[in-house]
Structure 1
Amino acid sequence: MLPRLKSALLLWVLGLQGCSLAPAYTVPQLALPAHYREQADAGAWHPAHPADQHSAHWWWVYQDARLNALQQQLLDANPDLAAALAHVDAAQAYASQLHAGLFPQLTASAQPLRERQSDSRPLRGTTQPSVYNSNTAGFALNLDLDLWGKIRNQVAAGDAQAQASADDLAVARLSLQRQLTCLYVQLDGLDAQQRIVSRSLQDYSQALQLTRARYLGQIASEVDLTRAQTQLAQAQAQLDEVRGQRNLTEHAIGELVGEPASTFELAAREQTLSPPEQPDTLPGALLQRRPDIAAAERRVFAANAQIGVAKAAWYPDFSLSGLIGGQTGGAGNLLAAGNRFWALGPLVNLPIFDGGRLNAQARQAKAEFEEASASYRSTVLHAVREVEDNLAQLRDLRQQRLDEQAAANAAHNTQTLATRSYEAGAVSYLEVVTAQTAALQAQRQVQALRTRQLQASVALLTSLGGGWRAQ
């Protein structure tokens, strides 16, 4: 009967090895729209698959070799990325520490001592020496049976937190790449603004020469001359402002790529970036594709596992311990049969009274799960809003730029007509100044809208997790 009882007990213990007190995990539910409102044909929403990762080089759609080189420099030298990578390494190391709890812990010890016992030691024999040697060496084994899944849930939570840290690294990388691309687009726009104002300066300079000649010939008034001088000075001030903004943008790019602003320099170019072609439909698989959503989901999973850890603390903790070694009084063989010692047996710990500590830990674990779930839902809602915002902004900016281009064309024609009329003496120079000011403002506004359109495309690419399509 006793062997059967032992077998049944062994099977019971082995069965409990697969036990877990953590609630069954499900991703927090959120009522998502059927599709993007700005793109009704984008397809239904659905969770992404593990293979649906964002593009590692999503900025390639701008087809700019210098931007590609700066992005690589960002990955190699940005200190914020280095700090985030170190944080991931620390999280993975902590997860490895938790994994060690699943295995037996074996330690070796050796302790050669020379001791003196007190003359007043209780129960000391009269023949016992005051000074003696005590040499001990042995091995100790400890194995937590983890019947209630406490250690396994700790491991699961640690692995999930490590995965969330890796996703946080991806969030930091994507954010820095977005900042760099937006700054580069802004720099490109400022170069274009500088070209526009410089061309206007040439026109204003020629207009001033014409007006001065007419003034000296007593055809134009001194008021016309001062207006031409004012117009030229104001355009020069605008050029100075654009150059100042470009310097600040260039310094910010240098910081991102890990170079001091004092030595970093990007030459101005004549070439201008073009907004990328946006596909007619966008991937609906947003969930778990964006790294911030993936990180939030992993933290929900970790919090769910911690509930199992808190519940397991209420149950008896069974562990198996063993000890084997040898001890001598300073002479003799430690491995001799008479000098050996050993111990083997189970250890059970059961909480009886803890002042409400375990109950408070269980409430804390549940509250942290609710917090993580709410944070996950908030992250998803924010992601959907970002996509919708950028889709709407791209649509509106595209139309606004077309309208502004029509205004710029009309302003340019007005400027040409006003200049010819002034040369013919039909109008005052005030008409020319007004037309020139309107034309310059319209041209700069068209370029500003182009820059905003490019930045909105960057925002849309990153709000989708990086890229138009799942890779």
Structure 2
Amino acid sequence: MNCCYRKPSVISVAVLCSAVALASCAPRLGPSPTIASVTQFETSASLPGGDQQWPKTDWWRDFGDPQLDQLIAEGIANSPLMAEAEARVALARAQAISARAALLPRVDTLGAVQDTRISQNIELPTSGGWSWLGSALLSGSFEIDFWGKNRAALRVATSQTRAAQADIAAARLMLTVQIASAYADFARLEANRSLAAAALRTRTEARDLVAVRIRAGTAPAQAMDQAESGVQSATAQLRSVDEAIMLVRHMIAALAGSGPDRGDRIASPALIHRRSPDLPNDLPLELVGRKPELVAARWRAEAAAQQIHEARTAYYPNVNLLGVFGVVSLGLDRLFTDGSQLGTVGPAVSVPVFEGGRLAAGYRGARAEYDLAVASYREVLLQSLKDAADAVTSLKALPNEAQAADAAEAKAQNAYALTKLRYEGGLADFDAVLISENALIAARDEATMLRLRGFQLDITLARALGGGFSGRAPTRRTTS
């Protein structure tokens, strides 16, 4: 009886000794990098806290344009970008289910009927004739996860699933930002078209004025060539803007998941309200959970850390508990009678002996994947802080820039009007008119661009702050 209890203990000791011996074969890779913390970067001056709340998930509604709301709703429903992200989540979930299955026993059944002839030269009693061999078996196996390999694989798959879920939010944010940005660009182009049409009118008026002076004999004939050149240049500019408007219509239609004809039905934008440029008070610390790209990168670093553990366990013995039960008989009439029962149960241990460097390569590769994931997370974090700081800096500078541009436009308008009067009175040549005319057109372009740039900066800040996303990153510090 005592012998029966010694056998399992002997096996356990042998497995443990093998594990200790094989673990020493794993290459030493040195200290692993640590996950960057937002607190290690200086942000207080560039990202001062404020009373503003984080963006809502439908942050674009603050602009007050129902047409933009509709286009973004179409994009979320129809864009291939969203379908791809959702398919990746479904794939990651399937892989997690597969990894979870490795932690459970496996049971199979087998039933077979074969017409069999047993050789008469293997010292078994047989008549040499053909007989039916029947079997009905139930087999099972269970891998005893001593070293946590399967549990690590499940954590890898679970982390990848959570990263893919964050990727859906990142894809949604990217899509909404792209549509809103293209829509704001459409508004800018519409304003540019009005400016180009005004410039054409201004240059046409100047040409008509030159024609009057030439007929009166107070202007040289070559002035008409200069005036006509200005008209043709303004006409070309107007046509160029019309082309750009059609292109941006096509872009918005594609982002909304529709054909280019959808763009023809887009009316002129009516962006009404600006978003508040203030920041949330807890921005640096909360940004890690508010930016979907950061959350996804953090979960991928967690997955890579677990892959290191999974790769290391490949050096350890693999222990499976196997069992087969059922009935087997030569002759179907005796298949379910006493004496046909068959059964076996016991552990099976496999130990890696020579792998030609495969295990070391897998272990080193898993560590390299972790180093890459940590560096990638740090890069995303730094870029996120930069994007937020850039948007805040530009938003702070915008009011002064716009005020200066408006003042420049007003002065250019006065200068052009005065120069035009002087030219009509014969006190200035046409070159002075052209100079003041070009200055007025440039000042109008600059002032209009700055008025609409605020919407683009609002979009940029909403993206930098995660666009209303709120996710959960790993709570413990990832280590390899």
The alignment's TM-score, normalised by the length of structure 2, stands at: 0.84
- 3-state secondary structure, aligned to 2:264: coil
Are 2:220 and 1:212 aligned? no
**What do residues 347-376 of structure 1 show as CA deviations (whole Å, max 9, x unaligned)?**
222334434433333333223222222221
- Find the counterpart in structure 2 of residue 167 from structure 1: 166
- Pairwise mapping of residues 221-232 of structure 1 onto structure 2 (< 5 A)? 221-232=220-231
Given that residues 394 and 453 in structure 1 are in contact (C-alpha distance below 8 angstroms), is that contact kept between their aligned partners in structure 2? yes
277-286 or 233-242: which moved more?
Answer: 277-286
Pair 1:227–1:270, CA change in 2 (3 A): farther
Pair 1:468–1:118, CA change in 2 (3 A): closer
For 2:344 and 2:471, the matched residues in 1 are separated by: 60
**What do residues 431-454 of structure 1 show as CA deviations (whole Å, max 9, x unaligned)?**
333222211111112222334433
For 2:347 and 2:397, the matched residues in 1 are separated by: 72
- Find the counterpart in structure 2 of residue 71 from structure 1: 72
Pair 1:369–1:404, CA change in 2 (3 A): same
CA shift, 1:320, in A, is: 1.7
- Pairwise mapping of residues 243-392 of structure 1 onto structure 2 (< 5 A)? 243-262=242-261, 264-269=263-268, 271-272=270-271, 275-279=274-278, 281=280, 283-284=283-284, 285-332=286-333, 334-392=335-393
- Find the counterpart in structure 2 of residue 35 from structure 1: 43
- 3-state secondary structure, aligned to 1:140: strand
- 3-state secondary structure, aligned to 2:343: strand
- Pairwise mapping of residues 131-142 of structure 1 onto structure 2 (< 5 A)? 131-142=130-141
- Find the counterpart in structure 1 of residue 191 from structure 2: 192
96-105 or 222-231: which moved more?
Answer: 222-231
Given that residues 39 and 281 in structure 1 are in contact (C-alpha distance below 8 angstroms), is that contact kept between their aligned partners in structure 2? no
For 2:4 and 2:230, the matched residues in 1 are separated by: 105
CA shift, 1:63, in A, is: 1.9
CA shift, 1:197, in A, is: 1.7
For 2:415 and 2:129, the matched residues in 1 are separated by: 115
Q: Percent identity?
A: 27
- Pairwise mapping of residues 411-450 of structure 1 onto structure 2 (< 5 A)? 411-450=412-451
For 1:262 and 1:325, the matched residues in 2 are separated by: 68
For 2:279 and 2:254, the matched residues in 1 are separated by: 36
Given that residues 48 and 279 in structure 2 are in contact (C-alpha distance below 8 angstroms), is that contact kept between their aligned partners in structure 1? no
- Find the counterpart in structure 1 of residue 241 from structure 2: 242
Pair 1:130–1:449, CA change in 2 (3 A): farther
- Find the counterpart in structure 1 of residue 180 from structure 2: 181
In the alignment, structure 2 segments of 5+ residues that lack a partner are 17-22, 24-31, 473-480
For 1:398 and 1:4, the matched residues in 2 are separated by: 87
Given that residues 67 and 181 in structure 1 are in contact (C-alpha distance below 8 angstroms), is that contact kept between their aligned partners in structure 2? yes
In the alignment, structure 1 segments of 5+ residues that lack a partner are 44-51
Given that residues 36 and 388 in structure 1 are in contact (C-alpha distance below 8 angstroms), is that contact kept between their aligned partners in structure 2? no
**Residue type of the alignment partner of 1:163:** R
- 3-state secondary structure, aligned to 1:466: coil
- Pairwise mapping of residues 56-205 of structure 1 onto structure 2 (< 5 A)? 56-118=57-119, 121-125=121-125, 127-205=126-204
- 3-state secondary structure, aligned to 1:230: helix
151-160 or 166-175: which moved more?
Answer: 166-175
**Residue type of the alignment partner of 1:155:** L
Pair 1:362–1:430, CA change in 2 (3 A): closer
CA shift, 1:258, in A, is: 1.9
**What do residues 89-112 of structure 1 show as CA deviations (whole Å, max 9, x unaligned)?**
111111110111111111111111
The two structures, once aligned, show a CA RMSD in angstroms of 3.4
**Residue type of the alignment partner of 1:28:** I
Pair 1:211–1:359, CA change in 2 (3 A): closer
CA shift, 1:410, in A, is: 0.7
For 2:343 and 2:250, the matched residues in 1 are separated by: 70
Pair 1:467–1:318, CA change in 2 (3 A): closer
For 2:55 and 2:338, the matched residues in 1 are separated by: 66
Given that residues 318 and 347 in structure 1 are in contact (C-alpha distance below 8 angstroms), is that contact kept between their aligned partners in structure 2? yes
CA shift, 1:53, in A, is: 9.1
**Paired residue total:** 451
**What do residues 115-165 of structure 1 show as CA deviations (whole Å, max 9, x unaligned)?**
23456x53354x433311111112111111212211111101111111112
**What do residues 9-36 of structure 1 show as CA deviations (whole Å, max 9, x unaligned)?**
7xx99xx9xxxx9xxx997134533534
CA shift, 1:217, in A, is: 4.2
The alignment's TM-score, normalised by the length of structure 1, stands at: 0.85
Given that residues 135 and 328 in structure 1 are in contact (C-alpha distance below 8 angstroms), is that contact kept between their aligned partners in structure 2? yes
Given that residues 224 and 428 in structure 1 are in contact (C-alpha distance below 8 angstroms), is that contact kept between their aligned partners in structure 2? no
Given that residues 157 and 301 in structure 1 are in contact (C-alpha distance below 8 angstroms), is that contact kept between their aligned partners in structure 2? yes
For 1:354 and 1:74, the matched residues in 2 are separated by: 51
132-141 or 339-348: which moved more?
Answer: 339-348
